[in-house]
Amino acid sequence: MTQKSYYKLVPNSSYKSILQSSIQNIRFISPMERKPLVIVTPLNDFHVQSAVICAKSNGFQIRVRSGGHDYEGLSSISSYHQPFVIVDMRNLSGISIDTESKTARIGVGVRLGELYHAIAEKNPNLGFPAGTCPTVGAGGHISGGGEAH
């Protein structure tokens, strides 16, 4: 038996600000660019799973955005001129640092600046090798970044 979940789409005044919050190249803000039908900001793994299943079952393309720090618009637009949704991971931003084992567990929505700060608070002698831009999403950075699909 297949489980189904039903969500009611409620117009939200934060759509535009969430869409534009991490667009690095202003050409993608243009009214000529196709905009996502929906921006999903999941709070947990189940929400991500549900968004992907729903989008795929309705034939929508999916753009995944960890930080959205890309100049080609891969996480913000559809280059195929097909309906698409953005799954914006910003709310999956937990950080847990174990200084004994020198390891960390982080959510895909954590930005590098947040990670650097959390590490420095726990132990200023530890670090994470990445770039100097604090707004890059750690999820994209760690997974190769900029792919968005």
pLDDT tens digits for 70-127? 777 777 887 777 899 999 999 999 999 999 999 999 999 999 999 999 999 999 999 9
pLDDT tens digits, 13-30? 788 888 888 777 888 888
Domain-wise residue ranges, the chain: 15-91, 93-143
**pTM (global) more than 0.95:** no
CA distance 120 to 115: 9
Other CB atoms within 10 Å distance of the CB of residue 90: 20
Convert 62-84 to b/e letters by CB count within 10 Å (16 or more is b).
bbbbbbbbbeebbbbbbeeeeeb
pLDDT at position 9: 63
The single residue listed with the structure tokens 């297949």 is 2
Contact 105, 118 (CB under 8 A): no
Q: Give CATH for domain 15-91.
A: 3.30.43.10
- Give the per-residue pLDDT at 54: 93
